[in-house]
Chains A and B, each alone.
Chain A
Amino acid sequence: MADIVIDRVVKEFGTFRALQGVSLTVNDGEFVALLGPSGCGKTTLLRIIAGLETQTSGRVVIGGQDVSNLAPRKRGLAMVFQNYAVFPHMTVFENVAFGLRMQKAQQEEVKRKVERAAALLHIESYLDRYPAKLSGGQRQRVAVARALAVEPAVLLMDEPLSNLDALLRLEMRTELKAVLREAGTTTIYVTHDQTEAMGLADRIAVMYGGKIDQIGSPLEIYATPATRFVGGFIGSPPMNFIKVRCSQGMARIGDATLPCPATGKDMELGLRGEDASLAPNGSGIPFDIRVVEPMGSHLLLTGSIDGQPARIVAPPIAKVNAGERVGLTVDPARVTWIDSITGRAIARA
C-alpha cells in the first residue's frame, strides 16, 4: 500500500501539450478516478504513472520513492488494460501467476496467491483454460485477478469495463468495488463514464484539456461543480446552463427572480434537471415543454427556459403535456452560478 504524488507533470507530443502541469495526491488506500472525455489526457497520465510513457517534465512519487525515471517493472504497480492484454498462449492460471513468477516466487506461494485471486474474481473453475475459450467478461476478470495476485502497492486501471456490454458492466462494477474494498489497494481508475466514476471512486479528478478541473468526492463534484465543464459532464440529464443577466443581486428569468452572487456580469445559471420542481400554480421560472419522455421512474421534459434549451425531471405521474408552459421552483442553495467568460463557478452570495 502506498500513496502516490504526481507533481506538475507535463507531457508534450511534439507541439501538442497533452498534460499541462498536472498535480495530484492519492492517499494510501484511496480509490481515485480520472474522469474526462477522450483526449483530455487521463490515459496519458495513467501511462506516465505506470512508466509506459515518459513525462516531459514533472515527477511521480510512489510511497515516498521518486519513480519518475524507473522502468515499469521497478515501480511496484499492477495494471489492468482496456483490452485486458491477457496472454493468449498461456492458461488462465499462468496468466494470473505471471507477475508472481517474474518475482521468482516459490511454487507454493504462487499457487496460494493465484487461487486466492481467482476466488476473489470467481474464476477458479477455468484456471486450466486458455483465454481464447473465454468470453470478454471472463477475460476481464482474469486481467483483474492477475493484477491483484501480486498484491501491488498501487493498482492502475485503464477503462477496464468499457469493452463490456451494459449489463455486464453494471455487474462487474459492483463486484470490482467489493473486491477492491476488501483488498484496500491504492487505485487509480481511468474512465470516460461518469456513472462508473461516481459509483466506484472515493474521489474523482475531472480532467479536461490536459488539466484537472476539479478533484473531490462524488457528492461534492455533483453538488458543487467548480467549472462549467464539470457541471455539464457529471449527472444525467446534463446540467442546464441558462444565460442570465444579474443586476443588483437579482437575476430575472421571465417573471421569476433569483438571488445571484454578482452584479453586472454575464452569468449562467447552472440548474440540474432534478433540482427543479413543478410549481403548483404556474408561477416561478417559465419552462416551455417541447417533448415529454416517460422514463418509468420519472418524466424527462425537454424544452426551453427563456428561449434556451433545458431538460427538467418531473415525477412520473405529473400531468404535463408537450406544448405547455409550466412554472419551475428552484432552491437557490442548489444552483450553481457560472461566470460566462471564465467558465468557473462563482461562490454563492
Chain B
Amino acid sequence: MPARTSWIPYALIAPSVIFLGALFLVPLVQTIWLSFSAGDGFSLENYQRMAGDLNFSLAVRNTFLLTLVVVPLQVVLALAMATMVTKLDRGRDLALWVLTIPLGISDLAAGLAWLALLQNTGYLNSALYALGLIQGPVGWLSQETPWALFFAIVLAELWRATAIVLVILIAGLQLIPKEFSEAAEIFGAKPWTRFMRITLPLLKPSLQSALILRTVLAFEVFAVVYALGGRNFPVLAGEAYVWQNDNQNYGVAAAYAVLIMAISLAATAVYLRVLRTRPEQLP
C-alpha cells in the first residue's frame, strides 16, 4: 500500500520533530545566544566573568582530570567484565543483571552510597579500624585531603557509570562470531594475542559509541561530586548550577553550558576520527 500513503511517515515523526525542535534546538540556540549577551547586545562579558572566577580554572582542571582518569579505567574494567561474563554459561543472566544495576541508579544516589562508605564514621573507616590500621576516624572527604577526595570521586564514578560502557561492549562482543577466535586459536594464537589482534579491532565501532557516550556524560559530572565533596571539588556542571541557582546569573551559567558543549563536541569529533572503521573491515 505504499505510494498513495507517502505522507504517513512524515505525519508520524512530526510530533517528535516539533517537540525536539522546541525543547532541544531552540534552547540550544538560546543558550549560545544567552552566553554571548549581557545588558543589551553581543558581549563576551559572561565568558570573561566565567574565566575570571576563582573556581573556574579549578573546575576545568578537575573536570578534565576526572574524565581522563575515569573513562579509560571504565573501558578497561568494562572490557574485563564483558570478557568474563561472555565466558559464563550458567548464571550469566544473573551476573549481567547485577553488573548493570548501576544503570538504574541515580548519580545522586550513587554519591550517597559512597558517602556511606567513605564518611568519617563510615564503613571504610570502620573496616580499617577493625583491622587495626587506624586509630580513629579518618576524614577522606574533607577539604584537607583533596587527593583522597579525588580518589573517592573516581571510585564512585567507576562504580556508577561503568555499566553503560559494559552494556554497549557486550552487545558489540556478541556481534563478533565465535569462529574468528576459534580459527585464531587453531592457528596457534594465545588468548591475549587473540584479544588484542582479533576481538579488540572488531570491537572498534562499539568502543567508539561507548567512548563518545561515556565521555560526553563524564564532562557533565555533577551529583556524585556534589554528594561527596560539596563545593570542595568544583566541576564545570557544578559551577553552572551554582551560577544559575545561587548567584542567579543566567549569562555566566550559559557560558559554562556552552563550554561543556564545545568540549563534548570536540571530544566526539576526536573519537569519530581516531576510532574510524572502514565498513569493509567489519564482519
Q: CB atoms of A and B under 8 A apart anywhere in the complex?
A: yes
Residues of A within 8 A of B (CB): 51-54, 69, 71-72
Q: Which B124-180 residues sit within 8 Å CB-CB of chain A?
A: none
Which A residues are CB-close (under 8 A) to B4?
Answer: 54, 69
Most buried by A among B1, B2, B3: B1
Given contacts A53-B2, A54-B2, 6 further A-B contacts (CB under 8 A): A51-B1, A52-B1, A54-B1, A54-B4, A71-B1, A72-B1
- Contact residues in B for A72 (Cβ distance below 8 Å): 1
A contacts with B: majority SS: loop
Type the 1/0 row for B190-220, where 1 means its CB is closer than 8 Å to any CB of A.
0000000000000000000000000000000
Report how far A54 CA is from B6 CA in the complex, Å: 12
- Closest A residue, CB atoms, query B4: A54
Given the complex of chains A and B, what is the CA–CA distance between A52 and B3 in angstroms? Answer: 10
* Residues of chain B with a CB closer than 8 A to A53's CB: 2
- What's the least CB distance linking A169 to chain B, in Å? 31
Residues of chain B contacted by A52 (CB below 8 angstroms): 1
**B1 cross-chain contacts in A, Cβ below 8 A:** 51-52, 54, 71-72
Residue of B nearest to A73 (CB): B1
10 contacts between A and B (CB under 8 A): A51-B1, A52-B1, A53-B2, A54-B1, A54-B2, A54-B3, A54-B4, A69-B4, A71-B1, A72-B1
Report the interface size for chain B: residues with CB under 8 A from the other chain.
4
B33 CB, nearest partner CB in chain A, Å: 44
Closest to B1 in A: A71
CA distance A54 to B5 in the complex (A): 11
Q: Determine the distance from Cα of A72 to Cα of B2 in the docked complex, in whole angstroms.
A: 12
A71, closest chain B residue (CB): B1
Q: Shortest Cβ distance from A317 into chain B, in angstroms?
A: 49
Closest to A72 in B: B1
Min CB gap B5→A, angstroms = 9
Closest CB of chain A to B276's CB: distance in Å? Answer: 30
Closest to A52 in B: B1
In B1-59, the 8 Å CB interface with A consists of 1-4
> In the complex, what distance in Å separates the CA atom of A54 from the CA atom of B2?
7
With a CB–CB cut-off of 8 A, which chain B residues contact A69?
4
Shortest beta-carbon distance from A201 to chain B in Å: 29
Q: CA–CA, A72 to B5, complex, Å? A: 14
Q: Which residues of A contact B2 (CB under 8 A)?
A: 53-54
Q: How far is the CA of A71 from the CA of B1 in the complex (A)?
A: 7
How distant is A195 from chain B, measured CB to nearest CB, in Å?
34
A53 to B1, alpha carbons, bound, how many Å?
A: 6
A45 to chain B, nearest CB (A): 16
Shortest Cβ distance from residue A144 to the other chain B in the assembled complex, whole angstroms: 24
- Cβ proximity bits B89-119 to A, threshold 8 Å, 1 near / 0 not: 0000000000000000000000000000000
**Smallest CB–CB gap between B144 and chain A, Å?**
64
Within the complex, the shortest CB–CB distance from B143 to chain A, in Å, comes to: 61
B7 to chain A, nearest CB (A): 15
Least CB distance, A50 to chain B, in whole angstroms? 10
Name the residue on A nearest B2 (C-beta): A54
- Residues in B with CB closer than 8 Å to A71 are 1
Interfacial chain A residues near B3, Cβ < 8 Å: 54
Bound Cα distance A334, B1 (Å): 47
Chain A residue nearest to B3 in the complex (CB)? A54
The 9 closest A-B pairs by CB, nearest first: A54-B3, A54-B2, A71-B1, A52-B1, A51-B1, A54-B4, A72-B1, A53-B2, A54-B1
The complex places the Cα of A53 from the Cα of B2 at a distance, in Å, of 7
- Distance in angstroms from A51 CB to nearest chain B CB is 7
| CA A318 to CA B133, docked complex, whole Å | 98
Complex CA gap A69/B2 in Å reads: 11
